[in-house]
Structure 1
Amino acid sequence: MDKNAVDAVFDLFLQYVDEQQTNLLIREAASVGYAGAAITYCAAPDEFTVSTNKKDKSAREKPASFRFPLIPDEASLPKTPSGAPFKVFRRLSLVASDPRVFHDLQNHPTCKAFDIVSVSPTDDKMLQQAIDDANVDIIELDFTTRRCVSIKRKHARQVEANGKFFEVCYRGALESPETRGTFFTNCRRLVGDLNPGDSGKLPDVVVMSSGLADSYLLKSPTELGFVVDLFGFPRQFSQKMLSTSSWKALQNSLAKRRTAKNAVQILL
């Protein structure tokens, strides 16, 4: 693995709104020091539904409302402060409140066109299914609510064995004083849930992303390093969250997909 790539920081969740906003996000991320980002399309419920009835072909067609996230071609992408070209990937995010979501991920052709696929499980049953499903790369944790899913040490072991990652988005800490307090509480609880005991080494299974749609809220990697310390994560663990873990999550996603660009991007 390229040491320079490992040291680079990727934001794996910049939320797609429209092309203009996407360009602003990309340019801001490049200017503040990120090496690349995943432009994330947050799908509406049932947007990629595939009928389980083999005779019903209508649901297999791409929904008319869907617009595939358009991103600039490589020639027009900005340079990072180091002079390297900024890397951009496409990501799909789905809320997993029903087991049918995983059937849709397996069978809907549009889902297979993304570089990264993530789900946000709404309960512990959906969490376990997300961990087990081969089509899921990242499991989003909603830390703005006190009723977020319960992470246990066995989940960390399973996620690590399956080459997946949990994701915490700091967007939740910026929304309001109420969500900020809940966010901090959940971060500290996650550290306790992942604590392996006597070894004292937390497993490398968490990435920190922004989850932002507004470029003016984006924190630089340096700023985020200080902020993450306030969230209660140990220093060595937080450094991995911001660099090594995001790189590994990206590589694992690209390695198992045949998207149009990953044959080149996997050799970053």
Structure 2
Amino acid sequence: SSSTHVDILAVRPGTIDVCKHACQNLEIDVISLDLANTKTAPNFAAAQVAVSRGIFFEICYAQSFKNPGKKAAFFSNVKRLVDVTRGHNLFFSSEALRALDIRKPADLRILGALFGMTQDQIEASVTLNYAKLLKKAETRKSTYNAAIRNQEVSKTEKRKQENQGQQNKSNKKAKKAQ
């Protein structure tokens, strides 16, 4: 029997701007958001673009339940994600470090109800969307065999780069004037 190899391209944006860029421009399958720590969920317009492009949003639940202080932020951010995506193209993932942190589908259905999802949205996020994601990944025209980690640039580094760019523009204008 032949085995099918599928490459799923996923990103985990660290800021809202990177998330918006991923929703609108990147050729990816999954946007995995750290919903327990930061407010990286996209706005309505960016989320709708992502949904229309067939991009899925991964809701990782295990880490948020380990720290009671993160639960409120997690629930708030997931609720917002459900609202801006209208419950479409979502799926649950454990991101568990231990087997005991993995939840059964019935527990995920209860979580979905707590997030305000309809029964159809819950069923899709617990069962159907996994198959849709794999189908999307199988039918992609090109795949990249690489992992890229994008380090966040500090504000001082950004300013240096911006100043360098402005100086280069000024130098080019001065040369043209001569």
Is the shorter-chain TM-score for this pair beyond 0.5, marking a shared fold? Answer: yes
Contact 2:10 2:31 in 1 (8 A): yes
C-alpha displacement of 1:191: 2.9
Q: Where does the alignment leave 5 or more consecutive residues of structure 2 unmatched?
A: 144-178
2:20 equivalent among 122, 128, 137: 128
TM-score, structure 2 as length reference: 0.68
In structure 1, the partner of 2:31 is: 139
Partner residue in 1 for 2:7:
115
- 2:100 is equivalent to residue 216 of structure 1: yes
- Structure 1 residues 203 and 216: alpha-carbon distance in aligned structure 2, compared to 1, 3 A threshold: closer
Q: Secondary structure at the match of 1:243?
A: helix
Give 1:220's aligned amino acid: K
Q: Any idea what the Cα deviations from partners look like across 1:107-136, whole Å, max 9, x if unmatched?
A: xxxxxxx621211111122113322111x2
CA deviation string 1:214-238 (max 9, x = no partner) = 1122111122212332233333212
Q: 1:161 to 1:232 in 2, by over 3 A?
A: closer
2:62–2:96 CA contact under 8 A, matched in 1: yes
Aligned to 1:179: 70
Q: Which runs of 4+ in 1 moved over 4 A?
A: none
The residue number in structure 2 matching 1:241 is 125
- Equivalents in 1 of 2:58, 2:137: separation in Å? 14
> Does the Cα contact within 8 Å between 1:156 and 1:203 map onto a contact in 2?
no
- Residue 168 (structure 2) pairs with residue 168 (structure 1): no
Partner AA of 1:250 in structure 2: L
CA drift of 1:257 comes to: 5.9
Task: Report SS of the residue matched to 1:166.
Answer: strand
Contact 1:115 1:257 in 2 (8 A): no
1:184–1:232 CA contact under 8 A, matched in 2: no
Bigger fraction of residues in strand: 1
Q: Structure 1: which 5+ runs fail to align?
A: 1-73, 75-86, 90-113, 195-201, 260-268
Is the Cα contact below 8 Å between 1:173 and 1:184 reproduced in 2? no
Residues 178-217 of structure 1 aligned to structure 2 (within 5 Å): 178-194=69-85, 202=86, 204-217=88-101
Aligned CA RMSD, in angstroms, stands at: 2.5
What amino acid does structure 1 have at the position aligned with 2:44? R
Cα deviation code 1:143-197 (max 9, x no counterpart): 112x322422212221122221111111133221111121111122223333xxx
Larger Cα-atom Rg: 2
Length-normalised TM-score, structure 1: 0.47
**Relative contact order higher in (CA < 8 Å, ≥ 6 apart):** 1
Pairs aligned (count): 141
- Counting aligned pairs with the same residue, the percent is 23
**Which structure has greater helix proportion?**
2
